[in-house]
Amino acid sequence: MMRQYELVERVLAYDKSADEALLNRAYVYAMKAHSNQKRASGDPYFSHPLEVAAILTELRLDDATIATALLHDVIEDTDSTRAEIDQMFGAEIGTLVDGLTKIKKLDLVSKRAEQAENFRKLLIAISSDIRVLLVKLADRLHNMRTLEHMKPESRRRISQETLDIYAPLAGRMGMQHLREELEELAFKWLHPEAYAMLQEKLEALTRRNRGLVEEIDKALTQRLREAGIKAEINGREKKLYSIWRKVTTKQISMEQLSDIYAFRVIAETVGDCYGALGLVHTAWNAVPGRFKDYISTPKQNSYRSIHTTIVGPRHQRVELQLRTRQMHEVAEYGVAAHSAYKDTGGGDGPGEAEEVGPYVWLRRLVETLLEGQNPEEFLEHTKLELFHDQVFCFTPKGRLIALPTGATVIDFAYSVHTDIGNSAAGAIINGRHMPINTTLKNGDEVQVITSLSQTAPPAAWEKVAATGRARAAIRRATRDASRRQYCELGRRLVAIRFERVGLEYSDEKVKRAAGRLAHKTLEDVLASVGRGELPVNDVVKAVSPEAAAKLEGAGTAGPRPRNRHDHAQGQEGWFNLSKVMNLKFRMPGSEGPAASPVANGAGLDGPANSGVLGVPIRGARSDLPVRFEDGGAVPGDRIVGVLVPGQGIRVHQIHSPKLAQFEQADWVDVTWDIDPDRPERFPAKLGVTVMNEPGTLAQIAQVIGEAEGNIDSLRMTQRAADFTTMVIDVEVWDLAHLSRIMAGLRSKAVVSKVERLFE
């Protein structure tokens, strides 16, 4: 066990101004507090906080963080109190220890709802001061190193929590070395058989390639020296967990991996990095598609390096990472490499904390947390943000937008601004008009096309979006739009009933009566009426008991209307919106003939384009014919209706060229109304360009079949010596289903191009 003076000397070795007295007090206090306690291994308990402190000295953290590491278990596991810690060590350290005490009580692998809420608490605790997370990660690392002394069920629970939460958090904070060790240890306990098998294979591969690392190291060093480039070269083998993840996700053998061997070239300047890259690519063949420049476009966790893969000596594929010494420290230690990690401010000013990419990400994550209503949604959001790799795209003005792999134009739009996302209708990618659900690639220039008539995004976008930010914004906008629409519907119903009893409607009258109706706001009252939760007569009674008495004496039928287009019968029957579009909607629970589940929607007030009834009202029917003009639209596509005099309502997919003949002011947003209890397939048309070789058609059919799509017809439209273009009519459930099929087709090497076609 490390002695007191040894710990102090470690800290003073990198921080001459460290408070020796503070470190000595914390060491002695923690040792006495834990003096009678033992770990599961039988070792003195104090050995654990001491090892945690030792791990943090390797990260060169400040004296307050080291003292916190020594004290992090005293409130939870001894008779010490927060007040006593504040008195002896100051409020700063007291706050850090208290934050770690709260984290220790959380169960992050409990059932989903509890896990989500506990995860919220975890991120709130660590966002107040990043040092709380740094100590917690070191604490978890030492626990994982000594996990063999725990019971099997505890080992599995702690390992799963480490793999799901703490390892990704370490990665997001840029602490790759710590992340790799956490993943490796968790993998060992969660999948012991796979771990042992891969370890045996890696050892066999190492024996077969004995001397290869030294040979590559020597060749690289010699060429760099001849070119006058000073650099340090470190060779390593890929970690077992990383190998296992690639083997399982890509369905390939271990021998097919291109980066079992990796080398880091640590140069003095950025110019030397690019010079070394040119030298390497001149001396050895580069592997196509294996080049990434994270120096010019850093990752969100501040990681910067050039990655390339070459075919080196012995025809062995070798991954190279080229970086400067400063970049290497950030890559290894992440946020701990920045002096700004001690800044606990909110980031309002231009201080150092704003420059720490990982910390900025954490603060933004917590801001989203505080905005959310559903903890399970937040858990999903955060896991999406933790696990995805990135693609880098640009706005037309050159602004860089970092997104997870698989992100679409929808995600890009919401990353620019929430309002842009809510009104997005399409995009121009690299100068070409493309659908809103197009998957983005590195280097794409994206211009989002917005529509003034779109007040809320289609709910189906949530299934297409890849980022938690976009999904959360879509849910929020959908909820807000639905509430507004129910409010407008409720306002119309209340106004009609007021007119029947001789009252003049005003929002102020209903607002004053909100309390008597057990609601807080006017919007709450109207939305409840629109949803059918609050009877209209109750609103009349709360506003004017005298008028309600007239209503009760006369019944609710009212005078017989002179014209079927001049009335609304409320929630008991048909609600007529014919003054706007000559469409009728049956309210929930009403009687009447059902109609086909086509898109329904109408404006509520004023001209036809002023609003959209996007709530899923069943049984829409129309006095005018309503039909699709474009073949190939599926649920999830944005669709708009146009009232054509003498022809009825014509519904078009948003990208239809036929819409060009109508003024955008005449468009009316309509929404899909699909019965989830009776799923139905919809036809879609794909144009696929493939290599003209045997087995291609079988691969195409296999992708569609495995994705549970149905091929209705297939025909060749263009044939050439090398390539063939075919049109495939497929049947799918919705846009998300179609997007999965298209992504599967694009992943095939024989496929050159996949696009949607519309009639």
**Residues with catalytic function:** 76-77
Strand partners, 728: 686, 714
Q: How far is CA 426 from CA 422, 434, 436, 621, in A?
A: 12, 7, 5, 30
Tokens of 323: 């970086």
Question: Which residues lie below 8 Å from residue 171, measured CB to CB, with a gap of 6+?
Answer: 179, 301, 386
What residues contact residue 200 under an 8 Å CB cut-off, 6+ apart? Answer: none
Q: Please name the helix (run of DSSP H) or strand (run of DSSP E) that holds residue 462, with its range, or none.
A: helix 461-464
* 3-class DSSP state of 209: coil
Please state whether beta strands 306-311 and 292-293 pair in parallel, antiparallel, or not at all (unpaired): antiparallel
Tell how strand 317-324 and strand 261-267 pair up: parallel
Pick from 509, 485, 481, 483: nearest CA to 495: 509
Nearest to 701 by CA among 661, 732, 728: 728
In 209-292, which ranges are continuous DSSP H helix?
212-226, 240-250, 270-283
How far apart are the C-alpha atoms of 418 and 402, rounded to whole Å? 16
DSSP H or E run through 322: strand 317-324
Q: Rounded CA gap, 716 and 725, in Å?
A: 6
Cα(413)–Cα(93) distance, rounded to whole angstroms? 42
Distances (CA, A) of 268 to 188, 229, 275, 328, 461: 37, 8, 11, 11, 47
Q: From CA 337, how far away is CA 439, in angstroms rounded? A: 35
Please compute Rg for the chain using Cα positions: 32
Nearest CA to 218 among 272, 285, 263?
263
d(CA 328, CA 325): 5
Residue 506 makes CB contacts below 8 A (sequence gap 6+) with none
Report the distance separating Cα 569 and Cα 726, nearest Å.
53
- Across the strands, what pairs with 718? 725
**3-state SS, residue 532:** coil
Rounded Cα distance between 254 and 263, Å, is 19
- Cα→Cα distances 619→115, 583, 586, Å: 40, 12, 6
Taking a C-beta distance cutoff of 8 angstroms, is the pair 525, 517 a contact?
A: yes
CB environment 146-163: b (16+ within 10 A), e (fewer): bbeebeeeebbbbbebbb
Query: At 143, is the secondary structure helix, strand, or coil?
Result: helix
